[in-house]
Structure 1
Amino acid sequence: MIRLGLNIDHVATLRQARYRHESDSAHAEPDPVPLALLAEKAGAKGITVHLREDRRHIQDHDVRRLRKQIKTVLNLEMAVTPAMVAYALKLKPEEACLVPENRQEITTEGGLDLLGSERRVANAVARLVKGGIVPSLFIDPDPGQIDAAARIGAPCIELHTGAYANARTAAAIRRELERQWAAAEQAHALGLQVNAGHGLHYRNLAPFIETVPHLHTLNIGHSIVARAVEVGMAAAVKEIVAILKAKAQVKAKARK
Protein backbone atom coordinates (compact mmCIF):
# COMPACT_ATOMS: atom_id res chain seq x y z
CA MET A 1 0.00 0.00 0.00
CA ILE A 2 1.14 3.57 -0.67
CA ARG A 3 2.58 5.18 2.46
CA LEU A 4 1.12 8.37 3.89
CA GLY A 5 3.53 11.01 5.08
CA LEU A 6 1.91 13.80 7.10
CA ASN A 7 3.38 17.26 6.68
CA ILE A 8 2.84 18.86 10.06
CA ASP A 9 3.97 22.39 9.07
CA HIS A 10 0.54 23.98 9.04
CA VAL A 11 -0.05 23.12 12.69
CA ALA A 12 3.01 25.23 13.46
CA THR A 13 1.71 27.95 11.11
CA LEU A 14 -1.42 28.24 13.27
CA ARG A 15 0.66 28.35 16.45
CA GLN A 16 3.00 31.01 15.09
CA ALA A 17 0.05 33.26 14.27
CA ARG A 18 -0.37 33.83 18.01
CA TYR A 19 2.86 32.70 19.66
CA ARG A 20 5.54 33.75 17.20
CA HIS A 21 7.91 34.99 19.89
CA GLU A 22 7.26 32.28 22.46
CA SER A 23 6.57 29.16 20.42
CA ASP A 24 8.46 26.94 22.89
CA SER A 25 6.47 28.07 25.93
CA ALA A 26 4.18 25.66 27.74
CA HIS A 27 1.04 27.51 26.68
CA ALA A 28 1.88 27.91 22.97
CA GLU A 29 -0.75 26.04 20.97
CA PRO A 30 -1.33 23.99 18.94
CA ASP A 31 1.77 21.90 19.48
CA PRO A 32 2.73 19.95 16.32
CA VAL A 33 4.54 17.19 18.20
CA PRO A 34 1.61 15.48 20.02
CA LEU A 35 -0.49 15.88 16.88
CA ALA A 36 2.23 14.14 14.86
CA LEU A 37 2.16 11.30 17.39
CA LEU A 38 -1.62 11.03 17.04
CA ALA A 39 -1.21 10.89 13.27
CA GLU A 40 1.25 8.01 13.58
CA LYS A 41 -1.19 6.03 15.70
CA ALA A 42 -3.92 6.70 13.13
CA GLY A 43 -1.85 5.26 10.28
CA ALA A 44 0.63 7.86 9.02
CA LYS A 45 3.89 6.13 8.10
CA GLY A 46 6.04 9.23 8.35
CA ILE A 47 6.13 12.84 9.51
CA THR A 48 7.39 15.59 7.23
CA VAL A 49 8.58 18.99 8.44
CA HIS A 50 10.00 21.86 6.43
CA LEU A 51 12.54 23.74 8.51
CA ARG A 52 12.70 26.89 6.43
CA GLU A 53 15.68 29.18 6.65
CA ASP A 54 13.42 32.01 7.87
CA ARG A 55 11.81 29.69 10.49
CA ARG A 56 8.35 31.00 9.62
CA HIS A 57 6.47 27.97 10.98
CA ILE A 58 8.37 24.87 12.16
CA GLN A 59 11.06 25.76 14.70
CA ASP A 60 14.29 24.02 15.67
CA HIS A 61 12.81 22.88 18.97
CA ASP A 62 9.92 21.24 17.10
CA VAL A 63 12.32 19.26 14.92
CA ARG A 64 14.45 18.13 17.87
CA ARG A 65 11.40 16.90 19.77
CA LEU A 66 10.00 15.12 16.71
CA ARG A 67 13.35 13.41 16.17
CA LYS A 68 13.20 12.03 19.71
CA GLN A 69 9.53 11.11 19.92
CA ILE A 70 8.11 9.87 16.62
CA LYS A 71 8.18 6.13 15.95
CA THR A 72 7.99 6.10 12.14
CA VAL A 73 10.05 8.11 9.65
CA LEU A 74 11.13 11.73 9.99
CA ASN A 75 11.37 13.44 6.60
CA LEU A 76 13.13 16.81 6.78
CA GLU A 77 12.28 19.18 3.94
CA MET A 78 15.18 21.56 3.47
CA ALA A 79 16.82 24.08 1.18
CA VAL A 80 19.95 23.05 -0.70
CA THR A 81 22.39 25.07 1.39
CA PRO A 82 25.56 24.09 3.27
CA ALA A 83 23.94 25.18 6.55
CA MET A 84 20.88 22.98 6.07
CA VAL A 85 22.94 19.99 4.93
CA ALA A 86 25.06 20.34 8.07
CA TYR A 87 21.89 20.60 10.15
CA ALA A 88 20.48 17.42 8.63
CA LEU A 89 23.72 15.51 9.18
CA LYS A 90 23.59 16.47 12.86
CA LEU A 91 19.86 15.75 13.26
CA LYS A 92 19.96 12.42 11.38
CA PRO A 93 16.40 12.17 10.03
CA GLU A 94 15.68 9.00 8.09
CA GLU A 95 14.90 11.06 4.99
CA ALA A 96 15.59 14.55 3.66
CA CYS A 97 13.70 16.15 0.79
CA LEU A 98 15.58 18.93 -1.00
CA VAL A 99 13.22 21.73 -2.01
CA PRO A 100 13.48 25.26 -3.42
CA GLU A 101 12.86 28.19 -1.11
CA ASN A 102 11.61 31.68 -1.93
CA ARG A 103 11.20 34.12 0.94
CA GLN A 104 8.11 35.67 -0.71
CA GLU A 105 6.15 32.45 -1.15
CA ILE A 106 3.51 31.28 1.33
CA THR A 107 4.37 27.64 0.71
CA THR A 108 6.75 25.86 -1.66
CA GLU A 109 5.86 26.75 -5.25
CA GLY A 110 7.36 24.61 -7.99
CA GLY A 111 10.12 22.06 -7.95
CA LEU A 112 13.89 22.36 -7.91
CA ASP A 113 15.55 23.42 -11.15
CA LEU A 114 18.12 20.64 -11.31
CA LEU A 115 19.28 21.64 -14.78
CA GLY A 116 20.69 24.86 -13.40
CA SER A 117 22.17 23.46 -10.21
CA GLU A 118 23.26 19.85 -10.80
CA ARG A 119 26.68 20.19 -9.16
CA ARG A 120 25.33 21.90 -6.04
CA VAL A 121 22.48 19.42 -5.61
CA ALA A 122 24.72 16.43 -6.36
CA ASN A 123 27.11 17.55 -3.61
CA ALA A 124 24.26 17.81 -1.10
CA VAL A 125 22.88 14.41 -2.12
CA ALA A 126 26.29 12.76 -1.78
CA ARG A 127 26.83 14.23 1.70
CA LEU A 128 23.39 13.12 2.89
CA VAL A 129 23.84 9.60 1.53
CA LYS A 130 27.24 9.35 3.20
CA GLY A 131 25.60 10.44 6.45
CA GLY A 132 23.05 7.61 6.28
CA ILE A 133 20.11 9.80 5.22
CA VAL A 134 17.90 8.95 2.23
CA PRO A 135 17.63 12.11 0.10
CA SER A 136 14.83 12.92 -2.30
CA LEU A 137 14.48 15.75 -4.81
CA PHE A 138 11.25 17.75 -5.07
CA ILE A 139 10.82 18.28 -8.81
CA ASP A 140 8.17 19.03 -11.40
CA PRO A 141 6.98 16.13 -13.60
CA ASP A 142 9.37 17.15 -16.36
CA PRO A 143 11.47 14.62 -18.33
CA GLY A 144 14.61 16.76 -18.19
CA GLN A 145 14.37 17.18 -14.42
CA ILE A 146 13.87 13.46 -13.91
CA ASP A 147 16.88 12.61 -16.08
CA ALA A 148 18.91 15.11 -14.07
CA ALA A 149 17.79 13.52 -10.79
CA ALA A 150 19.09 10.18 -12.01
CA ARG A 151 22.42 11.71 -13.09
CA ILE A 152 22.80 13.39 -9.72
CA GLY A 153 22.52 10.03 -8.00
CA ALA A 154 19.43 10.69 -5.91
CA PRO A 155 17.68 7.46 -4.90
CA CYS A 156 14.28 9.13 -4.74
CA ILE A 157 12.21 11.96 -6.18
CA GLU A 158 9.05 13.64 -4.98
CA LEU A 159 6.85 14.71 -7.86
CA HIS A 160 5.38 18.17 -7.41
CA THR A 161 1.61 17.72 -7.81
CA GLY A 162 0.66 21.39 -7.57
CA ALA A 163 -0.34 21.81 -11.22
CA TYR A 164 -2.63 18.79 -10.93
CA ALA A 165 -4.15 20.08 -7.69
CA ASN A 166 -4.75 23.51 -9.24
CA ALA A 167 -6.31 22.20 -12.47
CA ARG A 168 -10.00 23.07 -12.69
CA THR A 169 -11.27 21.81 -16.04
CA ALA A 170 -11.60 18.17 -17.08
CA ALA A 171 -9.10 18.72 -19.89
CA ALA A 172 -6.55 20.33 -17.59
CA ILE A 173 -6.94 17.60 -14.98
CA ARG A 174 -6.49 14.91 -17.62
CA ARG A 175 -3.42 16.67 -19.01
CA GLU A 176 -1.78 16.94 -15.59
CA LEU A 177 -2.54 13.33 -14.72
CA GLU A 178 -0.90 12.28 -17.98
CA ARG A 179 2.19 14.31 -17.09
CA GLN A 180 2.34 12.68 -13.66
CA TRP A 181 1.86 9.21 -15.16
CA ALA A 182 4.67 9.73 -17.67
CA ALA A 183 6.97 11.16 -15.01
CA ALA A 184 6.38 8.23 -12.66
CA GLU A 185 7.01 5.72 -15.44
CA GLN A 186 10.22 7.48 -16.46
CA ALA A 187 11.49 7.74 -12.88
CA HIS A 188 10.71 4.10 -12.16
CA ALA A 189 12.53 3.00 -15.32
CA LEU A 190 15.58 4.95 -14.13
CA GLY A 191 15.51 3.17 -10.76
CA LEU A 192 14.18 6.10 -8.75
CA GLN A 193 11.71 5.73 -5.89
CA VAL A 194 8.62 7.80 -6.67
CA ASN A 195 7.00 9.94 -4.00
CA ALA A 196 4.56 12.76 -4.65
CA GLY A 197 2.93 15.68 -2.91
CA HIS A 198 1.69 19.28 -2.84
CA GLY A 199 -1.99 20.13 -2.93
CA LEU A 200 -3.32 16.58 -2.75
CA HIS A 201 -6.56 16.35 -0.77
CA TYR A 202 -9.55 14.13 -0.06
CA ARG A 203 -11.30 14.86 -3.36
CA ASN A 204 -8.41 14.68 -5.84
CA LEU A 205 -6.47 11.85 -4.22
CA ALA A 206 -8.37 8.85 -5.63
CA PRO A 207 -8.03 9.83 -9.32
CA PHE A 208 -4.36 10.53 -8.76
CA ILE A 209 -3.48 7.15 -7.30
CA GLU A 210 -5.72 5.37 -9.80
CA THR A 211 -3.71 6.92 -12.64
CA VAL A 212 -0.13 7.33 -11.43
CA PRO A 213 1.91 4.12 -11.02
CA HIS A 214 4.88 3.19 -8.84
CA LEU A 215 3.95 5.51 -5.96
CA HIS A 216 5.77 4.84 -2.69
CA THR A 217 4.84 7.75 -0.41
CA LEU A 218 2.39 10.62 -0.66
CA ASN A 219 3.19 13.63 1.50
CA ILE A 220 0.02 15.52 2.41
CA GLY A 221 -0.22 18.38 4.86
CA HIS A 222 -2.64 21.27 4.48
CA SER A 223 -5.67 19.16 3.62
CA ILE A 224 -5.24 16.86 6.61
CA VAL A 225 -4.57 19.71 9.04
CA ALA A 226 -7.60 21.60 7.71
CA ARG A 227 -9.79 18.52 8.06
CA ALA A 228 -8.43 17.95 11.56
CA VAL A 229 -9.89 21.28 12.63
CA GLU A 230 -13.30 19.74 11.98
CA VAL A 231 -12.91 16.10 13.01
CA GLY A 232 -9.62 15.81 14.92
CA MET A 233 -6.20 14.68 13.72
CA ALA A 234 -6.73 10.94 14.19
CA ALA A 235 -9.98 10.91 12.20
CA ALA A 236 -8.52 13.12 9.48
CA VAL A 237 -5.56 10.78 8.98
CA LYS A 238 -7.76 7.69 9.07
CA GLU A 239 -9.93 9.10 6.27
CA ILE A 240 -6.89 9.48 3.99
CA VAL A 241 -5.55 6.06 4.95
CA ALA A 242 -8.95 4.55 4.10
CA ILE A 243 -8.70 5.97 0.57
CA LEU A 244 -5.21 4.51 0.17
CA LYS A 245 -6.36 1.11 1.44
CA ALA A 246 -9.42 1.04 -0.82
CA LYS A 247 -7.35 1.81 -3.91
CA ALA A 248 -4.72 -0.74 -2.91
CA GLN A 249 -7.41 -3.43 -2.69
CA VAL A 250 -8.77 -2.50 -6.11
CA LYS A 251 -5.32 -2.74 -7.65
CA ALA A 252 -4.67 -6.06 -5.91
CA LYS A 253 -7.88 -7.51 -7.35
CA ALA A 254 -7.01 -6.22 -10.80
CA ARG A 255 -3.68 -8.08 -10.70
CA LYS A 256 -5.38 -11.43 -9.95
Structure 2
Amino acid sequence: MAQLAVNVDHVATLRNARGVTFPEPIAAAVAAETAGADGIVVHLREDRRHINERDVRLLRKIVQSKLILEMGATSEMLGIALDVKPDCVTLVPEKREELTTEGGLDLITHENNIRQAIATLKNAGIAVCIFIDPDLDQIKLAHKIDADMIEIHTGAFCDATNDAQKQSEFSRIVDAAKIGTKLKLEVNAGHGIGYNTIQAFKGLSEISEFSIGHSIVARAILTGMDQAVRDMKQLIGAL
Protein backbone atom coordinates (compact mmCIF):
# COMPACT_ATOMS: atom_id res chain seq x y z
CA MET A 1 0.00 0.00 0.00
CA ALA A 2 1.30 3.44 -0.92
CA GLN A 3 1.86 5.85 1.93
CA LEU A 4 0.24 9.24 2.50
CA ALA A 5 2.22 12.37 3.37
CA VAL A 6 -0.05 15.24 4.39
CA ASN A 7 0.97 18.81 3.56
CA VAL A 8 -0.22 21.31 6.19
CA ASP A 9 0.96 24.50 4.46
CA HIS A 10 -2.54 25.86 4.00
CA VAL A 11 -3.34 25.66 7.68
CA ALA A 12 -0.56 28.22 8.03
CA THR A 13 -2.00 30.16 5.06
CA LEU A 14 -5.26 30.59 6.96
CA ARG A 15 -3.41 31.59 10.12
CA ASN A 16 -1.33 34.18 8.32
CA ALA A 17 -4.32 35.65 6.48
CA ARG A 18 -5.39 37.32 9.73
CA GLY A 19 -1.96 37.78 11.25
CA VAL A 20 -2.90 35.70 14.27
CA THR A 21 -1.56 32.57 15.96
CA PHE A 22 -4.28 30.15 14.87
CA PRO A 23 -5.11 27.77 13.33
CA GLU A 24 -1.92 26.03 14.35
CA PRO A 25 -0.18 23.91 11.65
CA ILE A 26 1.55 21.95 14.41
CA ALA A 27 -1.83 20.84 15.78
CA ALA A 28 -2.96 19.97 12.25
CA ALA A 29 0.13 17.79 11.80
CA VAL A 30 -0.54 15.96 15.07
CA ALA A 31 -4.16 15.37 14.05
CA ALA A 32 -3.07 14.08 10.63
CA GLU A 33 -0.58 11.66 12.20
CA THR A 34 -3.17 10.46 14.70
CA ALA A 35 -5.50 9.73 11.78
CA GLY A 36 -2.85 7.62 10.05
CA ALA A 37 -0.70 9.96 7.95
CA ASP A 38 2.66 8.38 7.19
CA GLY A 39 4.44 11.71 6.95
CA ILE A 40 4.03 15.47 7.27
CA VAL A 41 5.07 17.87 4.51
CA VAL A 42 5.78 21.59 4.74
CA HIS A 43 7.19 23.99 2.16
CA LEU A 44 9.39 26.70 3.63
CA ARG A 45 9.27 29.39 0.99
CA GLU A 46 11.66 32.29 0.62
CA ASP A 47 8.83 34.77 1.26
CA ARG A 48 7.44 32.75 4.23
CA ARG A 49 3.93 33.14 2.85
CA HIS A 50 2.65 30.26 4.99
CA ILE A 51 5.08 28.02 6.88
CA ASN A 52 7.84 29.78 8.82
CA GLU A 53 11.02 28.61 10.52
CA ARG A 54 9.33 28.40 13.91
CA ASP A 55 6.83 25.93 12.42
CA VAL A 56 9.57 23.78 10.91
CA ARG A 57 11.56 23.63 14.13
CA LEU A 58 8.52 22.72 16.23
CA LEU A 59 7.46 20.08 13.72
CA ARG A 60 10.92 18.51 13.89
CA LYS A 61 10.40 18.07 17.64
CA ILE A 62 6.81 16.83 17.40
CA VAL A 63 6.39 14.79 14.21
CA GLN A 64 6.64 11.08 15.01
CA SER A 65 6.31 9.67 11.50
CA LYS A 66 8.41 11.46 8.89
CA LEU A 67 9.04 15.17 8.33
CA ILE A 68 9.47 16.19 4.71
CA LEU A 69 10.75 19.71 4.03
CA GLU A 70 10.06 21.15 0.60
CA MET A 71 12.44 23.96 -0.32
CA GLY A 72 14.42 25.66 -3.03
CA ALA A 73 18.07 24.71 -3.45
CA THR A 74 19.39 28.00 -2.04
CA SER A 75 22.19 28.52 0.44
CA GLU A 76 19.72 29.91 3.00
CA MET A 77 17.45 26.87 2.77
CA LEU A 78 20.32 24.41 2.80
CA GLY A 79 21.56 26.01 6.01
CA ILE A 80 18.15 25.65 7.63
CA ALA A 81 17.82 22.03 6.50
CA LEU A 82 21.25 21.13 7.83
CA ASP A 83 20.33 22.65 11.18
CA VAL A 84 16.80 21.22 11.48
CA LYS A 85 17.60 17.79 9.98
CA PRO A 86 14.24 16.76 8.45
CA ASP A 87 13.91 13.13 7.45
CA CYS A 88 13.72 14.11 3.81
CA VAL A 89 14.18 17.26 1.72
CA THR A 90 12.20 17.65 -1.48
CA LEU A 91 13.91 20.15 -3.77
CA VAL A 92 11.38 22.23 -5.70
CA PRO A 93 11.45 25.22 -8.04
CA GLU A 94 10.16 28.45 -6.56
CA LYS A 95 8.96 31.78 -7.95
CA ARG A 96 7.62 34.58 -5.77
CA GLU A 97 4.80 35.41 -8.18
CA GLU A 98 3.31 31.90 -8.38
CA LEU A 99 0.26 30.90 -6.36
CA THR A 100 1.66 27.41 -5.87
CA THR A 101 4.49 25.38 -7.36
CA GLU A 102 3.83 25.38 -11.10
CA GLY A 103 6.06 22.57 -12.33
CA GLY A 104 9.00 20.34 -11.67
CA LEU A 105 12.64 21.28 -11.30
CA ASP A 106 14.51 21.71 -14.56
CA LEU A 107 17.54 19.56 -13.80
CA ILE A 108 18.96 19.95 -17.28
CA THR A 109 19.33 23.70 -16.73
CA HIS A 110 20.29 23.58 -13.06
CA GLU A 111 22.22 20.30 -12.90
CA ASN A 112 25.36 21.58 -11.17
CA ASN A 113 23.51 23.50 -8.46
CA ILE A 114 21.14 20.62 -7.72
CA ARG A 115 23.95 18.07 -7.77
CA GLN A 116 25.83 20.09 -5.13
CA ALA A 117 22.69 20.49 -3.01
CA ILE A 118 22.03 16.75 -3.12
CA ALA A 119 25.58 15.96 -2.06
CA THR A 120 25.44 18.46 0.81
CA LEU A 121 22.17 17.09 2.16
CA LYS A 122 23.09 13.43 1.77
CA ASN A 123 26.43 14.00 3.50
CA ALA A 124 24.37 15.20 6.46
CA GLY A 125 22.26 12.03 6.42
CA ILE A 126 19.18 13.68 4.89
CA ALA A 127 17.38 11.80 2.11
CA VAL A 128 16.76 13.87 -1.02
CA CYS A 129 13.75 13.86 -3.32
CA ILE A 130 13.42 15.86 -6.55
CA PHE A 131 10.04 17.32 -7.49
CA ILE A 132 10.01 16.67 -11.20
CA ASP A 133 7.76 16.68 -14.24
CA PRO A 134 6.96 13.28 -15.79
CA ASP A 135 9.77 13.76 -18.31
CA LEU A 136 12.02 10.76 -18.87
CA ASP A 137 15.18 12.76 -19.56
CA GLN A 138 14.75 14.71 -16.32
CA ILE A 139 14.18 11.50 -14.37
CA LYS A 140 17.28 9.88 -15.81
CA LEU A 141 19.26 12.95 -14.78
CA ALA A 142 17.83 12.80 -11.25
CA HIS A 143 19.25 9.29 -11.03
CA LYS A 144 22.57 10.40 -12.48
CA ILE A 145 23.06 13.14 -9.88
CA ASP A 146 22.31 10.71 -7.04
CA ALA A 147 18.84 11.68 -5.82
CA ASP A 148 17.26 9.10 -3.53
CA MET A 149 13.75 9.57 -4.88
CA ILE A 150 11.55 11.61 -7.18
CA GLU A 151 8.13 13.12 -6.69
CA ILE A 152 6.28 13.20 -9.99
CA HIS A 153 4.43 16.45 -10.58
CA THR A 154 0.82 15.37 -11.18
CA GLY A 155 -0.68 18.83 -11.64
CA ALA A 156 -1.13 18.68 -15.41
CA PHE A 157 -3.13 15.46 -15.04
CA CYS A 158 -5.24 16.67 -12.12
CA ASP A 159 -6.00 19.99 -13.82
CA ALA A 160 -6.80 18.54 -17.26
CA THR A 161 -10.19 19.66 -18.54
CA ASN A 162 -11.06 16.83 -20.92
CA ASP A 163 -10.68 13.06 -21.11
CA ALA A 164 -8.12 13.06 -23.91
CA GLN A 165 -5.87 15.44 -22.05
CA LYS A 166 -6.25 13.47 -18.81
CA GLN A 167 -5.38 10.22 -20.57
CA SER A 168 -2.34 11.75 -22.23
CA GLU A 169 -1.02 13.27 -19.00
CA PHE A 170 -1.65 10.11 -17.01
CA SER A 171 0.25 8.05 -19.57
CA ARG A 172 3.24 10.32 -18.96
CA ILE A 173 2.94 9.69 -15.21
CA VAL A 174 2.83 5.91 -15.74
CA ASP A 175 5.92 5.99 -17.98
CA ALA A 176 7.74 8.21 -15.49
CA ALA A 177 6.89 5.95 -12.55
CA LYS A 178 8.09 2.88 -14.40
CA ILE A 179 11.39 4.37 -15.54
CA GLY A 180 12.01 5.78 -12.05
CA THR A 181 11.44 2.36 -10.51
CA LYS A 182 13.67 0.75 -13.12
CA LEU A 183 16.43 3.17 -12.12
CA LYS A 184 15.89 2.14 -8.47
CA LEU A 185 14.58 5.54 -7.44
CA GLU A 186 11.76 5.67 -4.92
CA VAL A 187 8.82 7.16 -6.82
CA ASN A 188 6.31 9.47 -5.13
CA ALA A 189 3.55 11.59 -6.64
CA GLY A 190 1.97 14.89 -5.75
CA HIS A 191 0.37 18.20 -6.66
CA GLY A 192 -3.33 18.70 -7.19
CA ILE A 193 -4.34 15.17 -6.20
CA GLY A 194 -7.78 15.03 -4.61
CA TYR A 195 -10.43 12.57 -3.51
CA ASN A 196 -11.61 12.09 -7.09
CA THR A 197 -8.30 12.01 -8.98
CA ILE A 198 -6.53 9.63 -6.55
CA GLN A 199 -8.64 6.77 -7.86
CA ALA A 200 -6.98 7.00 -11.28
CA PHE A 201 -3.78 5.63 -9.73
CA LYS A 202 -5.33 2.23 -9.06
CA GLY A 203 -2.89 -0.49 -10.12
CA LEU A 204 0.12 1.84 -10.44
CA SER A 205 2.13 0.00 -7.81
CA GLU A 206 5.30 1.91 -8.59
CA ILE A 207 4.06 4.89 -6.55
CA SER A 208 5.43 4.61 -3.00
CA GLU A 209 3.86 7.73 -1.52
CA PHE A 210 1.30 10.39 -2.34
CA SER A 211 1.94 13.92 -1.11
CA ILE A 212 -1.42 15.65 -0.67
CA GLY A 213 -2.25 18.94 0.98
CA HIS A 214 -4.86 21.32 -0.42
CA SER A 215 -7.66 18.81 -0.91
CA ILE A 216 -7.20 17.31 2.57
CA VAL A 217 -7.06 20.69 4.31
CA ALA A 218 -10.10 21.84 2.31
CA ARG A 219 -12.10 18.79 3.38
CA ALA A 220 -10.86 19.13 6.95
CA ILE A 221 -12.57 22.53 7.18
CA LEU A 222 -15.89 20.71 6.79
CA THR A 223 -15.23 17.30 8.35
CA GLY A 224 -12.21 17.76 10.62
CA MET A 225 -8.63 16.68 9.93
CA ASP A 226 -9.15 13.19 11.37
CA GLN A 227 -11.94 12.31 8.97
CA ALA A 228 -10.29 14.00 5.99
CA VAL A 229 -7.08 11.97 6.43
CA ARG A 230 -8.93 8.72 7.13
CA ASP A 231 -11.01 9.18 3.97
CA MET A 232 -7.89 9.66 1.84
CA LYS A 233 -6.10 6.73 3.48
CA GLN A 234 -9.09 4.52 2.69
CA LEU A 235 -9.00 5.54 -0.97
CA ILE A 236 -5.26 4.92 -1.19
CA GLY A 237 -5.72 1.53 0.45
CA ALA A 238 -8.13 0.55 -2.31
CA LEU A 239 -5.69 1.36 -5.15
* TM-score normalized with structure 2 length: 0.98
2:190 corresponds to: 197
1:8 corresponds to: 8
Q: Is the 8 A contact 1:181 1:213 kept in 2?
A: no
1:242 aligns with 2:222: no
Q: How many residue pairs end up in the alignment?
A: 239
1:135 aligns with 2:125: no
1:113 aligns with 2:110: no
1:84 aligns with 2:97: no
Give the gaps of 5 or more residues in structure 2.
none
Give the superposition deviation at 1:213. Answer: 3.5
CA root-mean-square deviation: 0.8
- One-letter identity of the residue aligned with 2:92: V
Give the superposition deviation at 1:212. Answer: 3.2
2:36 corresponds to: 43
- Cα deviation, 1:86-144, whole Å, max 9, x if unaligned, reads 11011000000000000000111101000001111010001111101000000000011
Q: Is the 8 A contact 1:140 1:160 kept in 2?
A: yes
1:75 aligns with 2:94: no
* TM-score normalized with structure 1 length: 0.92
Q: Is the 8 A contact 2:202 2:238 kept in 1?
A: no
Q: Is the 8 A contact 1:167 1:173 kept in 2?
A: yes
Query: What is the distance in 2 between the residues matched to 1:147 and 1:180?
Result: 14
Query: What is the distance in 2 between the residues matched to 1:213 and 1:125?
Result: 26
Max radius of gyration: which structure?
Answer: 1
1:61 corresponds to: 54
1:230 corresponds to: 222
Q: Which stretches of structure 1, 4 residues or longer, exceed 6 Å deviation after superposition?
A: none
Q: Is the 8 A contact 1:177 1:211 kept in 2?
A: no
Q: Is the 8 A contact 1:180 1:212 kept in 2?
A: no
2:178 corresponds to: 185
- One-letter identity of the residue aligned with 2:6: L
Is the partner of 2:238 in helix, strand or coil? Answer: helix
Q: Is the 8 A contact 2:5 2:39 kept in 1?
A: yes
- One-letter identity of the residue aligned with 2:158: A
Give the superposition deviation at 1:211. Answer: 5.0
Query: What is the distance in 2 between the residues matched to 1:196 and 1:124?
Result: 21
- Cα deviation, 1:183-235, whole Å, max 9, x if unaligned, reads 0011111111001100000001011x215331111100000000000000000
- One-letter identity of the residue aligned with 1:226: A
2:95 corresponds to: 102
Give the superposition deviation at 1:245. Answer: 1.3
Is the partner of 2:73 in helix, strand or coil? Answer: coil
Give the gaps of 5 or more residues in structure 1.
248-256
